[in-house]
Amino acid sequence: MSTSKRKKFYVTTPIYYGTAKPHLGSLYSTLLADFVARWNKLKGNDVFFLTGTDEHGQKIADAAQKVGKDPKEFVDSFVNDYKKTWQAYEIDYTKFIRTTDDYHVKAVQQWIRDLQQKGDIYKSMYEGWYCTPCETFVTAKDIPVRPELVEGSPNGSPRCPSCSRETHKVHEETYFFKLSAYQDKLLEFYKNNPDWVVPKERLNEVIAFVKSGLKDLSISRTTVKWGIPFPDDNEHVAYVWADALNNYITAIGYGQEKFKKDFAKWWPADLQIMGKDIIRFHAIYWPAFLMASDLPLPKKLLVHGWIKIGEQKMSKSLGNVVDPMNLLKAYGADPVRYYLIRKMAITHDSPFSIQDLEQTITSDLANDLGNLLSRMVSLADKHGIYELLAPKTWSADALKLQGECVSAVKDFYTYMDEYNFHMALARLWKYINQVNAFFHSHEPWKLVKTDRDTFLEILCATAQSLRTVGLLLWPAMPNKMEKLLKSIGVVFSLDHNTIEELELCNWNHNFMLTKIPPLFVKPEVKKVTEQPKEQEKKAAPVDDIITIDAVAKIQLLVGTIDHCEEVAESEKLLKMTVNFGEKGTRQIFAGIKKQYTPEDLIGKQSVFVYNLKPRKMMGMESQGMMLLAKDADGKLQRIAPVEKVENGTRLC
């Protein structure tokens, strides 16, 4: 397709805080962007896919200080983790922006200057509450609506509406952005663009918030040092969200004369993807910033729900994150990609479980799709058939299957246009099962001896279907689908509009078949083949065998960490007050400062040795021991019951 005819498509992910490695939640936002980017590549569009890291602010500075590192050096290692993980998961981004990149810093400073000149940024005093983990101001407006935010707070400051942690008072000179001046313009925009946010309902929360009255937004801090210095006033650094949101324009050349054309080509973004926790920033502050700069607004915001573990959001602070690299080692990138897109509904929070992941790989991928391909190709191979030529006319049964293909493609496109990705995949699976039924009901392994023409037609109709399926699934599973297509002799290329071509459903393709190893391995098969190693391990002699009586002597109890603080003089130690219910509370120390912050632990249950002889640690008495396990990266993980139990419960 000639480049002039190609439509541009610009998609962005949120930029991730550089305080930790990516987890499954971060992978999810990024994967959705990769999926949509690839879908547009299949359409022959010219795609720019932006992702990156959010590297300034108090949260990063605090985290770096805790481990005694300079903030930049601290985030560098996590940036590597992000890049490695994205590469392993075939995330084919165009650009990775870091907010510490020089061009970004300069462009943000220019943006500030421009808005100062316009009068949209002015200096005054700010007094209010701030949540550092969320890098957000808790406004007085939140409190009358939600009195529970102040209940139980020892120093009277409200809890953050997003993460429920206590906020702290901020009283400082600051630069304000005239957000209040954009209230009516925003409401007008929402009214004229009711489909701006997907799912639609999420825009209602935004409208309600804006209608309740917008105050000017503090966009600089004097108490924070790690940030973009304000131009001509280095006492102030830019508020991290004002810095971060602008990444979407600075990455494509905003503020750089030499990239003026690029910026004009790519902006506005066609799609901005984010989780529901950060919609307020993207649907209120961000459009107001753009309006102030006389720039068009992004065409669409896609807002997804959370991946949950049990009833809780998966998050680093809750200590329940799943490392995508561990999943990759066990199941491979494409099965995990498929699972996340197929099983997590954009509109809802969705639970993640290994059991469900394994079941999905077994049933959808290995049984339904993988077996269909291998049965068809193996059967052909068994009878020395390597080339399948499309017949001039198809039988009624094959035409029926072709009709089902037309309708599956149509429905798939409708779901994709609605950003209803899990439904698009579910609909395609209905068709895969129709193809399976077609293949099996005709028993081609019998026909080969009695009716060779029909036999060849069954194989060819199956191959036509697999071609459509393989191409439509490429955005979800690029590597596996390229293998599938190769094994039926389809040359994969992005040089034309595949989506338009598939809609016509022309079953006039010829195929060259090649047998390949199974596309997907069932997790239980993998486990069985790995079992000998396990058995060898079990058979290895164990030193220091103890009897059950010795086990009975150790009192392992579950307790809730009511209080936790850092021991300032120690690099490793955290001091906890642990509540063992009727057995009272204990002061217990653990050398886990590098892995956990006090906030990570407060309110959590864990397992402790209760009857250990008290020991002195840094001059204070530790009255028990926290049980910990070292993970593959050498990090200590706490041991906790899967579901909450009564404090003081003894392990049996």
Q: What are the residues binding ligand MSP (CB under 6 A)?
A: 14-17, 25-26, 28-29, 54, 244-245, 247, 274-275, 277-278, 306-307, 313-315
Residue closest to ligand MSP when measured from CB atoms? 275
Token pair 């191979």 in the structure block, residue: 381
SS3 label, residue 351: strand
Query: What's the min distance (Å) between Cβ of 406 and ligand MSP?
Result: 35
Rounded Cα distance, 368 and 20, in Å: 37
Output 131 or 481, the one with its CB closest to ligand MSP: 131
Output 25 or 253, the one with its CB closest to ligand MSP: 25
User: What's the half-sphere exposure (Cβ side, CA atoms, 13 Å) at 377?
Assistant: 22
User: DSSP of 134-166, one letter per residue?
Assistant: TTEEE-TTHHHH-GGGTTT-TTSPPBPTTT-PB
Query: What's the min distance (Å) between Cβ of 198 and ligand MSP?
Result: 14
Output 137 or 306, the one with its CB closest to ligand MSP: 306
Rounded Cα distance, 367 and 373, in Å: 10
CA 198 to chain CA centroid, Å, is 17
Query: What's the min distance (Å) between Cβ of 315 and ligand MSP?
Result: 5
Rounded Cα distance, 458 and 446, in Å: 12
Strand pairing of 168-177 and 217-218?
Answer: antiparallel
Q: Which amino acid is at 310?
A: G
Query: What's the min distance (Å) between Cβ of 218 and ligand MSP?
Result: 17
Rounded Cα distance, 569 and 321, in Å: 30
Other beta carbons within 10 angstroms of residue 51's beta carbon come to 27
SS3 label, residue 378: helix
Output 60 or 574, the one with its CB closest to ligand MSP: 60
Token pair 């899990």 in the structure block, residue: 422
Query: What's the min distance (Å) between Cβ of 5 and ligand MSP?
Result: 32
Rounded Cα distance, 178 and 282, in Å: 16
Output 244 or 477, the one with its CB closest to ligand MSP: 244
Q: Which amino acid is at 101?
A: D
Query: What's the min distance (Å) between Cβ of 400 and ligand MSP?
Result: 41
Rounded Cα distance, 77 and 55, in Å: 12
Rounded Cα distance, 231 and 234, in Å: 7
Query: What's the min distance (Å) between Cβ of 347 and ligand MSP?
Result: 13
Tell me what percent of the chain is helix, strand and coil, each rounded to the nearest 5. 45, 20, 35
- Helices (H), ranges, 170-211: 183-192, 201-211
Output 13 or 498, the one with its CB closest to ligand MSP: 13
Output 313 or 604, the one with its CB closest to ligand MSP: 313
Query: What's the min distance (Å) between Cβ of 15 and ligand MSP?
Result: 5
Output 111 or 610, the one with its CB closest to ligand MSP: 111
- Helices (H), ranges, 272-332: 279-280, 286-292, 324-331
Query: What's the min distance (Å) between Cβ of 24 and ligand MSP?
Result: 7
Query: What's the min distance (Å) between Cβ of 232 and ligand MSP?
Result: 25
| Contacts for 215 with CB less than 8 Å, ≥ 6 apart | 139, 141, 179, 180
Output 54 or 457, the one with its CB closest to ligand MSP: 54
Output 175 or 239, the one with its CB closest to ligand MSP: 239
